[in-house]
Copies of this chain bind each other. A is one copy, B any other.
């Protein structure tokens, strides 16, 4: 690598996305890159000419360690969907003109499905106009729903946050023995894939019962069956805890949160913003049984909880960034870094590369056989899969009782 690198972050943040950025920056420098630019707010910011020189922010090894521990996307993010090249040539011309102007040799985009679509379109357009720029995708998503990879950086840390928080809230939930019992509904991220919700089961151990029921979006939700299960549990237990994915829906496709009329936002990709599932079900159970209920949403905390990030996850995030640069340095393009589980026991994971074409806009959900027959818990296979991903802690650098983060680049917090 002799010239420059452009890197961007896209979609929802994770606790490992900046570990990938650190891996990209450090490896690019090792490979001889002159300048590593970071686009602010992804491809959308690049189109507006907004980018920074990363060396002005990551000045030494301590900064690199802080970057790994900084939650959310250090460079900012976007949900901009690159239009098809045909008929929108001016957008592509603008991107490539900027990249040429900055003498870019390698373009890395850290993101999920939609971001891989961007890499796919840019690399294809690049080939069509004879560009030599290499486009590589670096995976990231708390949802763990990218195709052709064993798992995705960001998932392990969010799963760890969920498992720890579940342990703590379950313990809290039975301290008081309410007359009619108590039912807590915990809403967890995951529109179509239940990987994160399933992680609630990781809390189960000799010191914790784990949640009593777990509902993933992969199986249609039946409210009658749910009510009967809760009824039986309430008769036995002081506290019943149920983990539900934000995306659970009935057999006819109606989201449970829509039953409570809480859908109020559709994003740039046409995805419904789901929220209110826990609150709807808590109200339902309170009405049915007169018991105390609590609705808890982990909300953005589950993806931003870098103070308890998984060391396995952040190390793998770093490795994914490193692999992306090494692939580009070898002249490869149009690929995404993937993870391959080389051994289950002991857990060993390596990186590979796959055509981004085969990954973009595809979605990997929890296999039906990893969910029990009743559709209200995950199986031991799911647990064996997820357990190694939450191991170890990237210990925060604590200053005055708070985790220290790398300072925010100018231009991210102000309205444009």
Name A's B-contacting residues (CB within 8 A).
9, 13, 41, 44, 70-73, 76-79, 160, 163-165, 167-169, 171-177, 181, 202-203, 205-209, 235-239, 264-265, 286, 292, 294, 296-297, 299-301, 303-308, 310, 312, 387, 390-393, 398, 400-408, 412-416
Q: Is B71 in contact with A168, judged by CB distance below 8 angstroms?
A: yes
Give the distance in Å from the alpha carbon of A208 to the alpha carbon of B205 in the complex. 36
Instruction: Select which of B77, B181, B286, B403 is within 8 A of A415 by beta carbon.
Output: B181
Contact of A310 among B72, B163, B401, B404 (CB under 8 A): B401
Q: How far is the CA of A166 from the CA of B400 in the complex (A)?
A: 15
Closest to A406 in B: B207
* Closest residue on chain B to residue A399 by CB atoms: B205
- Contact between A207 and B405, CB atoms less than 8 A apart: yes
In the docked arrangement, what's the CA distance between A342 and B402, Å? 24
When distances are taken between beta carbons in the complex, the residues of chain B under 8 Å from A391 are 400-401
Is A167's CB under 8 angstroms from B402's CB? yes
Report copies per complex.
2
Q: A76-B175, A237-B415 are in contact. List 14 more A-B contacts (CB 8 A).
A: A13-B172, A44-B177, A70-B171, A164-B402, A168-B306, A168-B307, A177-B415, A177-B416, A206-B407, A207-B407, A235-B415, A312-B401, A390-B401, A390-B402
Contact B296 A301 (CB under 8 A): yes
For the complex of A and B, 5 pairs with smallest distance between CB atoms? A390-B401, A168-B304, A172-B304, A72-B172, A72-B171
